[in-house]
Structure 1
């Protein structure tokens, strides 16, 4: 009877745990980002708490407010600028449909091999502008629907980000209690190896954060240098935008349009330079520096780190950048422990007794 009661309690506990996970599932992404953000900036939280004489609530409030200013204000500014750009594009399309295309630039005809064809296409579109826009109108509608769907996803992402910025306050304030609870839970599950796996997960996440931020900073500096050499206006602003877009792993969205602008201005040499610089230096450093910084200081092979970074992104999206290496690190360590326990220790061969000289 006692065993049946214990089994019933275990089933109820599992059902309760499943129900809790079901309730928390819609907030999993926001909780994850809040935890990563709090963990990455925890040294700042500890320093600020010491400066405020141990007032962790005030320190958490100030740090959360700082994150809101640092993250929310640039996103709002970017959203307003994108809205203005969309409005200007709509006005441009309307003017092109009514007035036709302007005179073609002089460099268009001078392009080797394709210059004459592009010039002929330019005049054809100019002469048949109304019919051309009527032809592409269905495709414009499809593109609009696609952008609307993407905008909805971006809006959902903004809501998750806002929620994570609220939740990070509680991670800051109650961080030590949460850490003690997780430590007790793991110690109950796996015993004395709890400290090892906590350090493994903490070290992996910290190296991933350092790798992401370090790579973004390096790409921003290299982009600023390239923009300055090529003479692109607003090089500092473009460098800061490269830093932001590096987190999404799409720096070409910054140096690509800058290269196209140089082509439009007729600066073909600088356009070729910036294209090569962006492809092999700005974007190429992501494939070298990020895996090095993530694997630096750990005991994981570089191939495991690479599989964790790129496979995690493909499997989980941007969240997989942190989940992938962490999951592989824990799995690699678990397999290592299991192998060490299963494979018997081979004793060192004893040296043969020396023959006594007769």
Structure 2
């Protein structure tokens, strides 16, 4: 009896200390998560270096981390800085009246009155729709301006998080396999289930970051290039916006280039409008269909509706990290229920199967 009390007390304290530690790490959630993502994505590079250079964990991990910094971290920082600069310029032009989003929409309405008649069939007021679009446009520029101001005021915190991410990534690349084995021994889920869940975690993280993010960057770059060639102002800004929307299935970069093509047609630039439409459908659109199966793989791809819902939910719950965290939570949800159905679904007696009640060593 006393032994059971000791065990329960220890487990209760273990849970309490674990929750306290999680709350302690909460301010650093972003750097920790991205350090884990970097370690998962670049771990094959570390393995390749180990085969070529021998078992030199510190040197191999450092070279791997330098490769990551050169090809990922530095370009992302440069792109983010350029985006914020473009957004600040756009916000200032809107405030000064140089850019009037409402006039662009009115121009489209005057050139294509059939649009208002079409919306009227569904009891949709064009005026209300116009006001909402303008509000979203202005709100987006204000958001970028606030982000620029926030980064300027919290420069030390930003670079502290960046340094922490790089620091943790080094140790995770070097000791990641040992940490996974330690977690498998510590968690009371059964080794087979734990390995399956860790594999799913790594699979979805790689697919989302390496595949979806790379595809979004390609689509955004293609969109920005055609905007620059056609002389559309803010090509860099709109390219980044297209990259962001490319992360969302059923939405994609078309939410940016279609209105641009419509506006070009409305002001009489028919040839650029046709070029943008054809380019968007053939080049930008097909980039997703051709590259996603190669970079992500058909076996790891969740249904589009689940990716859309989980991504939107992740963005609401976790902020910018949500475009990875949302699909990851959804994938783990499916993995847990898959294990449950496989192991318990056929049991009609109500008893736990032998495999579920066995020890980790038995599994």
TM (norm. structure 2) is 0.62
Residues 112 and 266 in structure 2, CA contact (< 8 A), matched pair in contact too: no
2:85 is matched with 83
CA RMSD of aligned residues (A): 4.9
How far off its partner does 1:55 sit?
Answer: 1.9
Residues 220 and 241 in structure 2, CA contact (< 8 A), matched pair in contact too: yes
Distance 1:254 1:266 in 2: 19
2:186 is matched with 185
Residues 218 and 243 in structure 2, CA contact (< 8 A), matched pair in contact too: no
1:212 aligns with 2:212: yes
Number of equivalent positions: 302
How far off its partner does 1:43 sit?
Answer: 1.0
2:4 is matched with 3
2:253 is matched with 251
Distance 2:74 2:297 in 1: 31
Distance 1:47-1:247 versus aligned 2 partners, 3 A rule: farther
1:321 is matched with 327
Q: Following superposition of structure 1 onto structure 2, how do residues 1-358 of structure 1 map, counting pairs within 5 Å?
A: 1-69=2-70, 70-76=72-78, 78-80=80-82, 82-83=84-85, 86-87=88-89, 90=92, 112=111, 146-151=143-148, 160=161, 163-186=164-187, 188-209=188-209, 211-213=211-213, 215-216=215-216, 219=219, 223=223, 227=226, 232=230, 245=244, 248-249=247-248, 251=253, 255=257, 259=261, 266-275=268-277, 277-278=279-280, 282=284, 290=292, 296-297=298-299, 305-317=303-315, 318=323, 319-342=325-348
Distance 2:8 2:262 in 1: 68
Residues 184 and 194 in structure 2, CA contact (< 8 A), matched pair in contact too: yes
How far off its partner does 1:220 sit?
Answer: 5.9
Give CA-to-partner distance per residue, 1:262-284, whole Å, 9 cap, x none: 56985323314424653687358
Residues 207 and 294 in structure 1, CA contact (< 8 A), matched pair in contact too: yes
Distance 1:9-1:77 versus aligned 2 partners, 3 A rule: closer
Higher relative contact order (CA 8 A, sep 6+): 2
TM (norm. structure 1) is 0.62
Structure 1: runs of 5 or more not aligned: 102-107, 115-139, 345-358
Give CA-to-partner distance per residue, 1:162-193, whole Å, 9 cap, x none: 5433321121111121121122124x432544
Residues 241 and 254 in structure 1, CA contact (< 8 A), matched pair in contact too: no
Give CA-to-partner distance per residue, 1:260-309, whole Å, 9 cap, x none: 895698532331442465368735875897589757235xxx7x633542
Distance 1:332 1:178 in 2: 25
